[in-house]
Structures are given as structure tokens and as C-alpha cells.
Amino acid sequence: MIRMKIGDKEYSRTMINNNIKKTYKFSLDTEFNNWYQEANDFGKDVAKLFDIPLSKVLGVVSVLSPLREWELNKKQAIEFISSGDCGHMKNNKKKARDIMSLDNDSALEFNILKIINGQKTTAFYLNMMYPNRKDYVTIDRHAIAIAIGRNATESEQSLSKNQYKFLKDCYIMAAEKLGLAPLHLQSITWQTWKRIK
């Protein structure tokens, strides 16, 4: 797949890769953390605090992540784990409740992934859970904006499976050319995009 229509415009892999690399170039004078490792560390701290598995904590973080900036996402996850409620959409809270009610058995992660279900939230969970793996990329509204070179409209943010895969593959290709893990490229460009836009 060399071209993909996103919204009303068709994009080539070259266009998307150039946009990703352009945002990455703005990061070269800035030091970046290993964002997903920090998210994993946050999850471990919360898991220890509440004596629950890390996978449950990060599952809750993931399902409560849509339309939330990171600091609010963390705050709402802690609030939900401690009280069973938080200020989020009903469907997201139901998923968080379903995750918290799972048995802590060998099928826990499999069952969490079934509950999470969405492409972005699944990748987000897996990136936080396994911050050193290279096979998942979180394509959120920021990653879409970076890929198309401007803030994405609401309709452009609703990706089909093929559109999601196309953008994921573009991030993987760009990361290979830059010598980075795809999740690190995505997190660096996300932090950069927030700084420059």
C-alpha cells in the first residue's frame, strides 16, 4: 500500500515519512526521555500502591486515555482505581470497571486486550506495558497530525483499520531510517509537536 486517503486528501508514504521526519528534526536540539518507560514506571508505582497487577493499572490508563492529556489521564486512572469512578465518558469507565473486575490469572492480559479492543488504546497499552518492544505504534490524534503535517480534523482522527495500519507502517519505516524504535519516534515527535504547535 503506497498511498492512502485520510479525510479528503490522499497521502503517499513518502509524504507521511517526510512529515514525521520534519517534526523529528525539531527535536534534535532537545533531550527526550524514554516516555513509555516512564509510563511503565508510573504504572508500577500505582500497582504497588494499590496492590494490583501492572497490567490492570495500564489497562485502566489506556481505556481512560482518549481525549485526555497525560497528566489528567494519570490522575483519572488513580481516581478510578481508588474509588471506582472518575470524570470520563460512560463507555470508558465501563471498560475500566471490566478490567478491574478480572481475575488475576494467566489469561489476565489476554482478557484486558479483549476489553480494550480499540486500535489506538490497544497499542498505547502494549507500548506502556512493553516499552522496549518495537512492534507496536500508538497512532493517536497527535501522531495523525504529525503524519499529515497539521492538526487533524475530527473525521481524519477516525481511522479505519487500513488507514491505521498505513500510518503505523509509515512510522515504522521512518523509525528504521532514523535508527530508532518506532514507539520512541512516536513519543519523541508527540512531545515535539506539543512544544512547537
Cα separation, 33 vs 38, in Å, equals 8
What are 102-161's pLDDT values in tens digits? 999 999 999 999 999 999 999 999 999 999 888 899 999 999 999 999 999 999 999 999
What are 170-181's pLDDT values in tens digits? 999 999 999 999
Cα separation, 49 vs 105, in Å, equals 20
Quick one: 73 exposed, middle or buried, by C-beta within 10 A (0-12, 13-18, 19+)? Answer: buried
Q: Can you give the pTM of this predicted structure? A: 0.92
Span 23-39, average pLDDT: 86
Give the model's pLDDT for residue 95.
97
**Contacts of residue 68, Cβ cutoff 8 Å, sequence gap at least 6:** 76, 88
Cα separation, 18 vs 124, in Å, equals 24
**C-alpha cell at position 134:** 518495537
84: left (phi over 0), alpha (psi -120 to 50) or beta: left
Q: Which residue has the cell 469507565?
A: 93
